[in-house]
Structure 1
Amino acid sequence: MPRPRTPLLDRRRIGAGALRVADEQGALSIPALARELGVAPSALYHHVSGREEIVALMREELTREAGPDDWDPSQPWEPSLEAWARSYRAAFAAHPGAVPLLATAPLAEPFMHAKYERVAALLLAAGFAAGQVMPLINALENFILGSALDLVAPPVMVSDVARETAPHLSAVLDGTPADHRRAELAFDTGLRALLTGFRALLPR
């Protein structure tokens, strides 16, 4: 039989398929990925060495979907870091099921190292000490990943509150949006608080 003009499988298809599986199932397995792509599990190993490389392909696909970084490291560090945080959150919010997997896998890919290099250079140029930079990045990432999951959480996360027994909570909930604005407001508030706190940590 003639060979198909378009290969059934390539590295980009594997990365995109793995993101779909993680989104739908909240986990990733080789058999599930093979079913998603319509191939035998053994076919995957013609293109990848194993699970770690598949996770790397997922990150690469996520980065491709997010597009180029749109923040300028020559600008002041606060607006630049805010722009990075917002783009990072938007990328993960598109694939919330993949967040636990990608967030717990070490970053071994050179293209990811290049992204972190820009952020590290930004913070060092701002005057932060070398020992502060990774804790600052990790703290911001932790917040971003949680915020990405919050975007796909129910609009109302605290419900059925009895006003008689929890009057203060009821009062603040009265002013809390009951739609997607709740997550947006929480992200904006938290990001501003983090950046304000980072500023206070700058060495004098």
Structure 2
Amino acid sequence: MQTPSKTSQLGRPLTPRLSRKAIGRAALAMFEEEESLSIPRLAERLGVRQSSFYKHVTGRQEIIELARGALVEKAPLPELNSGGLDGVIRQIFDVLRKAYSQVPALLPLLLTQPVSHPAALELYDRFVEALELAGMPKHLVIPALETLDSAAIGASLDAMTMESAWSIEEEDQSTYPHLFAAKKAVADHSVDRFAFLADVLSAGLRAAIDD
């Protein structure tokens, strides 16, 4: 008895090679490995013709949004109900920063279009629920989310670029004495920048609520 063929009589795979989820995952992998998105290269990765994409997506922007969805699927999500409002703020910031830090090349593109992928919308919906349950007034939830999102993106990009934003030669320390001394102080007393930023975000959002 012959083994059943994995292709139809027309020679097409019984399991489609291309899907929206497959496109998103491959696009995310390209951003991680090549730090860019090329539709022809993406087609090569998936082993299909470039024209095949347009049976599943409308264009480049939708592929970017599918990559956002693939990134969300990879992000581990803790229980967002511990530590009160301060704890929830820190948890949301940490989830976003860790996810964004995986693929910095994608971040500038995400900033140019609204969130529309169902997995991403579901994630933000959970963030909203957690913030409201922790005591965040409803009218401040979206501003708080935007603040946390922007801070997480900035922190992720900063971590991938340079160790310090200021370059001062030893012979120039008398020209910029305060900045030079501040740089030396942080070098002598290391500070976890991400934990510090989380503290600032938490304190700032808490202050906004109490006003």
| TM bucket, shorter chain | 0.7 to 0.9
- How far apart are 1:98 and its partner, in Å? 0.4
Which of residues 160, 173, 186 in structure 2 aligns to 1:163?
A: 173
Q: 1:49 maps to which residue?
A: 58
Runs of 4+ in structure 1 off by over 4 angstroms are: 1-8, 23-27
Cα root mean square deviation, aligned: 2.9
Amino acid at match of 2:183: L
CA distance in 2, matches of 1:118, 1:13: 25
Q: 1:145 maps to which residue?
A: 153
Q: TM-score, normalised by structure 2?
A: 0.79
Partner SS state of residue 175, structure 1: helix
What are the ranges of 5 or more consecutive residues in structure 1 without an aligned counterpart? none
CA distance 1:177–1:8, change in 2 (3 Å):
farther
Partner SS state of residue 202, structure 1: helix
Q: TM-score, normalised by structure 1?
A: 0.82
What are the ranges of 5 or more consecutive residues in structure 2 without an aligned counterpart? 1-9
TM alignment of 1:19-30, pairs within 5 A: 19-23=28-32, 27-30=36-39
The 8 Å contact of residues 30 and 41 in structure 1, kept in 2 or not, is answered as yes
CA distance in 1, matches of 2:157, 2:78: 23
CA distance 1:8–1:119, change in 2 (3 Å):
closer
CA distance in 2, matches of 1:194, 1:74: 17
- How far apart are 1:8 and its partner, in Å? 4.5
CA distance in 2, matches of 1:2, 1:126: 56
For 1:113-154, what per-residue CA distance to the aligned partner results, in whole angstroms no more than 9, with x for missing partners?
A: 222222222222333332211111101111110001112112
The 8 Å contact of residues 35 and 105 in structure 2, kept in 1 or not, is answered as yes
Q: 1:11 maps to which residue?
A: 20
Greater shift in the superposed pair: 142-151 or 194-203: 194-203
Q: 1:101 maps to which residue?
A: 109
Residues 1:176 and 2:183 are matched in the alignment:
no
How many residues end up aligned between the 2 structures? 200
TM alignment of 1:59-74, pairs within 5 A: 59-67=68-76, 69-73=77-81
Partner SS state of residue 150, structure 2: helix
For 1:76-100, what per-residue CA distance to the aligned partner results, in whole angstroms no more than 9, with x for missing partners?
A: 1211221121121111101000011
The 8 Å contact of residues 31 and 106 in structure 2, kept in 1 or not, is answered as yes
- How far apart are 1:6 and its partner, in Å? 7.1
